[in-house]
A = this chain, B = another copy of it.
Amino acid sequence: MQYETIFHEIYQELKSLEDTGHVADYIPELAHVNPDQFGVHLSTINGESYAFGDAEKRFSIQSIAKVFAFVLAYSKIKSDIWKRMDLEPAGTPFNSLVQLEHDKGVPRNPFINAGAIVVCDILVSGFPSPKEHVLSFTRRLSNSFTIDYNTKVAQSERETGFRNFALVNLMKSFGNIRNDINEVMDLYFHICSIEMSCRELSESFLFLANNGVIPYSGERILSPSRTKRTNALMQTCGFYDEAGQFTFKVGLPGKSGVGGGIVAVHPEKYSIAVWSPRLNKKGNSYKGMLFLEEFTTKTKLSIF
Protein backbone atom coordinates (compact mmCIF):
# COMPACT_ATOMS: atom_id res chain seq x y z
CA MET A 1 0.00 0.00 0.00
CA GLN A 2 1.13 3.49 -0.81
CA TYR A 3 1.22 4.93 2.74
CA GLU A 4 3.20 2.01 4.07
CA THR A 5 5.70 2.41 1.25
CA ILE A 6 6.12 6.05 2.18
CA PHE A 7 6.54 5.14 5.84
CA HIS A 8 9.26 2.71 4.92
CA GLU A 9 11.01 5.17 2.64
CA ILE A 10 11.08 7.92 5.23
CA TYR A 11 12.18 5.50 7.92
CA GLN A 12 15.13 4.49 5.75
CA GLU A 13 16.08 8.12 5.19
CA LEU A 14 15.92 8.92 8.90
CA LYS A 15 17.86 5.78 9.83
CA SER A 16 20.99 7.19 8.27
CA LEU A 17 20.74 10.36 10.38
CA GLU A 18 22.94 10.57 13.38
CA ASP A 19 21.07 9.62 16.54
CA THR A 20 20.97 13.10 17.93
CA GLY A 21 18.72 13.97 20.86
CA HIS A 22 18.22 12.27 24.19
CA VAL A 23 15.37 10.44 25.84
CA ALA A 24 13.72 12.25 28.73
CA ASP A 25 15.58 11.25 31.85
CA TYR A 26 13.95 13.16 34.70
CA ILE A 27 12.24 9.98 35.91
CA PRO A 28 13.67 6.44 35.71
CA GLU A 29 10.64 5.03 33.88
CA LEU A 30 11.33 7.30 30.89
CA ALA A 31 15.12 7.16 31.13
CA HIS A 32 15.15 3.39 30.69
CA VAL A 33 13.10 3.23 27.49
CA ASN A 34 14.97 1.69 24.54
CA PRO A 35 15.67 4.81 22.45
CA ASP A 36 15.84 2.98 19.13
CA GLN A 37 12.20 2.00 19.00
CA PHE A 38 10.16 3.56 16.24
CA GLY A 39 6.52 3.20 15.32
CA VAL A 40 3.93 4.92 13.20
CA HIS A 41 0.23 4.38 12.63
CA LEU A 42 -2.22 6.17 10.34
CA SER A 43 -6.00 5.77 10.56
CA THR A 44 -8.37 7.23 7.98
CA ILE A 45 -11.94 8.28 8.65
CA ASN A 46 -12.97 5.61 6.16
CA GLY A 47 -11.67 2.89 8.41
CA GLU A 48 -8.40 2.14 6.67
CA SER A 49 -5.26 1.84 8.71
CA TYR A 50 -1.54 1.70 7.93
CA ALA A 51 1.21 0.77 10.35
CA PHE A 52 4.98 0.56 10.47
CA GLY A 53 7.50 -0.55 13.05
CA ASP A 54 6.60 -0.66 16.75
CA ALA A 55 3.06 0.55 16.12
CA GLU A 56 1.49 -1.77 18.66
CA LYS A 57 3.94 -1.15 21.49
CA ARG A 58 2.59 1.03 24.29
CA PHE A 59 4.61 3.96 25.59
CA SER A 60 4.08 6.86 27.98
CA ILE A 61 1.98 9.39 26.04
CA GLN A 62 2.66 12.12 28.59
CA SER A 63 1.44 15.55 27.42
CA ILE A 64 -0.58 14.10 24.54
CA ALA A 65 -3.10 13.15 27.22
CA LYS A 66 -3.69 16.86 27.86
CA VAL A 67 -5.85 16.79 24.73
CA PHE A 68 -8.10 14.11 26.22
CA ALA A 69 -8.42 16.06 29.47
CA PHE A 70 -9.15 19.29 27.63
CA VAL A 71 -11.74 17.73 25.29
CA LEU A 72 -13.48 16.10 28.22
CA ALA A 73 -13.68 19.41 30.10
CA TYR A 74 -14.64 21.35 26.97
CA SER A 75 -17.40 18.93 26.01
CA LYS A 76 -18.94 17.84 29.26
CA ILE A 77 -18.55 20.56 31.86
CA LYS A 78 -20.29 23.90 31.84
CA SER A 79 -17.63 26.24 33.06
CA ASP A 80 -15.97 29.55 32.49
CA ILE A 81 -13.06 27.76 30.90
CA TRP A 82 -11.89 30.69 28.73
CA LYS A 83 -11.86 33.00 31.72
CA ARG A 84 -9.48 30.65 33.48
CA MET A 85 -7.06 30.17 30.61
CA ASP A 86 -6.24 31.86 27.33
CA LEU A 87 -5.88 30.23 23.92
CA GLU A 88 -2.74 31.92 22.67
CA PRO A 89 0.63 30.27 22.00
CA ALA A 90 2.98 30.48 24.94
CA GLY A 91 5.97 32.05 23.26
CA THR A 92 8.25 30.89 26.07
CA PRO A 93 9.53 27.53 27.19
CA PHE A 94 6.69 25.27 28.15
CA ASN A 95 6.78 25.44 31.88
CA SER A 96 7.83 29.03 32.39
CA LEU A 97 6.50 30.84 35.42
CA VAL A 98 7.22 34.28 34.03
CA GLN A 99 4.19 34.40 31.77
CA LEU A 100 2.01 32.94 34.48
CA GLU A 101 3.05 35.58 36.96
CA HIS A 102 2.62 38.35 34.40
CA ASP A 103 -0.87 37.12 33.55
CA LYS A 104 -1.90 36.78 37.20
CA GLY A 105 -2.22 33.03 37.25
CA VAL A 106 -4.05 32.61 33.92
CA PRO A 107 -2.18 30.12 31.69
CA ARG A 108 -1.70 30.91 28.02
CA ASN A 109 -3.51 27.79 26.79
CA PRO A 110 -4.75 24.38 27.93
CA PHE A 111 -1.79 22.46 26.49
CA ILE A 112 1.04 23.95 28.53
CA ASN A 113 1.53 22.40 31.96
CA ALA A 114 -0.15 25.25 33.84
CA GLY A 115 -3.18 25.14 31.55
CA ALA A 116 -3.52 21.39 31.84
CA ILE A 117 -3.41 21.74 35.62
CA VAL A 118 -6.32 24.20 35.47
CA VAL A 119 -8.16 21.71 33.22
CA CYS A 120 -7.56 19.09 35.93
CA ASP A 121 -8.98 21.48 38.51
CA ILE A 122 -12.10 21.87 36.35
CA LEU A 123 -12.39 18.08 36.04
CA VAL A 124 -12.03 17.66 39.82
CA SER A 125 -14.85 20.17 40.29
CA GLY A 126 -17.00 18.52 37.61
CA PHE A 127 -16.74 14.80 38.31
CA PRO A 128 -16.91 12.78 41.53
CA SER A 129 -14.23 10.35 40.27
CA PRO A 130 -12.25 12.33 37.73
CA LYS A 131 -9.45 9.77 37.37
CA GLU A 132 -11.91 7.04 36.41
CA HIS A 133 -13.75 9.46 34.15
CA VAL A 134 -10.68 10.49 32.13
CA LEU A 135 -9.62 6.86 31.77
CA SER A 136 -12.99 5.61 30.55
CA PHE A 137 -13.21 8.57 28.17
CA THR A 138 -9.80 7.74 26.70
CA ARG A 139 -10.73 4.07 26.35
CA ARG A 140 -13.95 5.00 24.54
CA LEU A 141 -12.11 7.34 22.16
CA SER A 142 -9.59 4.67 21.22
CA ASN A 143 -11.96 1.69 21.37
CA SER A 144 -9.30 -0.02 23.47
CA PHE A 145 -10.37 -0.99 26.94
CA THR A 146 -7.06 -2.13 28.41
CA ILE A 147 -5.50 1.34 28.28
CA ASP A 148 -4.45 2.33 31.79
CA TYR A 149 -2.47 4.66 34.00
CA ASN A 150 1.04 3.62 34.94
CA THR A 151 0.93 4.38 38.64
CA LYS A 152 4.68 3.99 38.99
CA VAL A 153 5.19 6.75 36.43
CA ALA A 154 2.57 8.89 38.17
CA GLN A 155 4.37 8.38 41.46
CA SER A 156 7.78 9.29 39.97
CA GLU A 157 6.34 12.39 38.37
CA ARG A 158 4.89 13.47 41.70
CA GLU A 159 8.18 12.94 43.50
CA THR A 160 10.17 15.06 41.06
CA GLY A 161 7.51 17.49 39.89
CA PHE A 162 8.61 20.47 41.99
CA ARG A 163 8.20 22.86 39.11
CA ASN A 164 4.63 21.70 38.53
CA PHE A 165 3.98 22.20 42.24
CA ALA A 166 5.40 25.70 41.86
CA LEU A 167 2.94 26.33 39.01
CA VAL A 168 -0.11 25.07 40.90
CA ASN A 169 0.81 27.00 44.05
CA LEU A 170 1.32 30.16 42.05
CA MET A 171 -2.07 29.76 40.36
CA LYS A 172 -3.67 28.98 43.70
CA SER A 173 -2.21 32.23 45.07
CA PHE A 174 -4.05 34.03 42.26
CA GLY A 175 -7.28 32.13 42.98
CA ASN A 176 -7.23 30.13 39.74
CA ILE A 177 -7.18 26.70 41.45
CA ARG A 178 -10.35 25.92 43.36
CA ASN A 179 -9.72 22.47 44.75
CA ASP A 180 -7.14 20.96 47.03
CA ILE A 181 -3.73 21.12 45.38
CA ASN A 182 -2.88 17.49 46.11
CA GLU A 183 -6.11 16.20 44.59
CA VAL A 184 -5.61 18.27 41.44
CA MET A 185 -1.99 17.19 41.05
CA ASP A 186 -2.85 13.55 41.66
CA LEU A 187 -5.17 13.71 38.65
CA TYR A 188 -2.58 15.62 36.62
CA PHE A 189 0.24 13.17 37.26
CA HIS A 190 -2.02 10.20 36.52
CA ILE A 191 -3.20 11.66 33.22
CA CYS A 192 0.41 12.15 32.12
CA SER A 193 1.14 8.50 32.93
CA ILE A 194 -1.33 6.98 30.43
CA GLU A 195 0.28 4.42 28.13
CA MET A 196 -0.93 3.82 24.59
CA SER A 197 0.42 2.48 21.32
CA CYS A 198 0.67 4.42 18.06
CA ARG A 199 -2.37 2.54 16.81
CA GLU A 200 -4.41 3.43 19.88
CA LEU A 201 -3.28 7.03 19.71
CA SER A 202 -4.12 7.55 16.05
CA GLU A 203 -7.51 5.91 16.54
CA SER A 204 -8.30 7.96 19.63
CA PHE A 205 -7.64 11.21 17.74
CA LEU A 206 -9.67 10.21 14.70
CA PHE A 207 -12.84 11.95 15.93
CA LEU A 208 -10.94 15.24 15.49
CA ALA A 209 -10.55 14.43 11.78
CA ASN A 210 -14.18 13.34 11.61
CA ASN A 211 -16.04 16.50 12.66
CA GLY A 212 -16.24 15.41 16.28
CA VAL A 213 -17.74 11.93 15.85
CA ILE A 214 -15.95 8.70 16.80
CA PRO A 215 -16.03 6.68 13.55
CA TYR A 216 -16.13 3.29 15.30
CA SER A 217 -19.09 4.00 17.50
CA GLY A 218 -20.80 6.98 15.94
CA GLU A 219 -20.65 8.78 19.30
CA ARG A 220 -20.49 12.55 18.94
CA ILE A 221 -17.78 13.99 21.22
CA LEU A 222 -17.69 17.61 20.05
CA SER A 223 -19.80 19.74 17.71
CA PRO A 224 -18.22 20.40 14.29
CA SER A 225 -17.43 23.95 15.35
CA ARG A 226 -15.74 22.90 18.60
CA THR A 227 -13.86 20.18 16.74
CA LYS A 228 -12.40 22.76 14.36
CA ARG A 229 -11.50 24.93 17.32
CA THR A 230 -9.76 22.10 19.13
CA ASN A 231 -7.73 21.39 16.00
CA ALA A 232 -6.94 25.09 15.68
CA LEU A 233 -5.75 25.12 19.29
CA MET A 234 -3.45 22.16 18.68
CA GLN A 235 -2.10 23.96 15.63
CA THR A 236 -1.00 27.05 17.55
CA CYS A 237 -0.28 25.51 20.96
CA GLY A 238 0.46 21.80 20.57
CA PHE A 239 4.25 21.91 20.48
CA TYR A 240 5.37 24.19 23.28
CA ASP A 241 7.93 26.62 21.95
CA GLU A 242 8.05 24.84 18.59
CA ALA A 243 4.43 25.26 17.46
CA GLY A 244 5.48 27.66 14.70
CA GLN A 245 8.12 25.23 13.43
CA PHE A 246 5.69 22.32 13.36
CA THR A 247 3.02 24.38 11.62
CA PHE A 248 5.57 25.68 9.15
CA LYS A 249 7.17 22.34 8.36
CA VAL A 250 4.40 19.81 8.91
CA GLY A 251 1.29 21.91 8.47
CA LEU A 252 -1.09 19.78 10.51
CA PRO A 253 -2.60 20.31 13.96
CA GLY A 254 -1.08 17.95 16.49
CA LYS A 255 0.26 17.30 19.98
CA SER A 256 3.53 15.92 21.25
CA GLY A 257 4.63 14.30 24.50
CA VAL A 258 7.94 13.97 26.26
CA GLY A 259 7.74 10.19 25.89
CA GLY A 260 8.56 10.70 22.21
CA GLY A 261 5.07 10.44 20.79
CA ILE A 262 3.41 12.86 18.35
CA VAL A 263 -0.14 12.73 16.99
CA ALA A 264 -1.35 14.87 14.09
CA VAL A 265 -4.72 15.23 12.44
CA HIS A 266 -5.70 15.96 8.86
CA PRO A 267 -9.30 17.18 9.07
CA GLU A 268 -11.72 15.21 6.93
CA LYS A 269 -8.97 12.70 6.15
CA TYR A 270 -6.90 10.91 8.78
CA SER A 271 -4.99 10.95 12.02
CA ILE A 272 -1.43 9.76 12.40
CA ALA A 273 0.71 8.87 15.42
CA VAL A 274 4.47 8.50 15.41
CA TRP A 275 6.81 7.45 18.21
CA SER A 276 10.57 7.82 18.57
CA PRO A 277 11.87 8.40 22.11
CA ARG A 278 14.85 10.70 21.49
CA LEU A 279 13.88 14.35 21.96
CA ASN A 280 15.20 17.51 20.34
CA LYS A 281 16.21 20.53 22.42
CA LYS A 282 12.64 21.78 22.61
CA GLY A 283 11.42 18.53 24.14
CA ASN A 284 9.68 17.12 21.05
CA SER A 285 10.56 13.81 19.36
CA TYR A 286 13.54 14.48 17.10
CA LYS A 287 12.77 11.87 14.47
CA GLY A 288 9.01 12.14 14.95
CA MET A 289 9.09 15.78 13.85
CA LEU A 290 11.29 14.97 10.84
CA PHE A 291 9.12 12.00 9.92
CA LEU A 292 5.95 14.06 9.79
CA GLU A 293 7.68 16.85 7.88
CA GLU A 294 8.77 14.35 5.25
CA PHE A 295 5.38 12.67 5.27
CA THR A 296 3.36 15.81 4.53
CA THR A 297 5.95 16.92 1.99
CA LYS A 298 5.81 13.62 0.12
CA THR A 299 2.02 13.30 0.29
CA LYS A 300 1.42 17.05 -0.20
CA LEU A 301 -1.23 16.65 2.45
CA SER A 302 -0.67 19.70 4.65
CA ILE A 303 -3.80 21.71 5.41
CA PHE A 304 -2.24 24.90 4.07
Contacts and interface: CB of A to CB of B under 8 A. Distances in A.
A91 B224 CA distance: 28
Nearest to A100: B97
| Identical chains in the assembly | 4
A251 B304 CA distance: 11
* Majority DSSP secondary structure for residues of A touching B: helix
A202 interface: no
Interface of A: 86-92, 96-99, 101-102, 108-109, 162-163, 165-167, 169-170, 172-173, 224-225, 227-229, 231-233, 235-237, 241-245, 247-249, 251, 253, 267, 297, 300, 302-304
Given A88-B91, A88-B241, A224 B300 contact: yes
A229 to B, nearest CB: 5
A86 B244 contact: yes
A245 B162 CA distance: 31
Contacts of A237: 244
Given A245-B87, A304-B232, A101 B99 contact: no
Contact of A162 (B96, B172, B241, B243): B172
B166 A267 contact: no
Contact of A166 (B99, B166, B243): B166
A108 B91 contact: yes
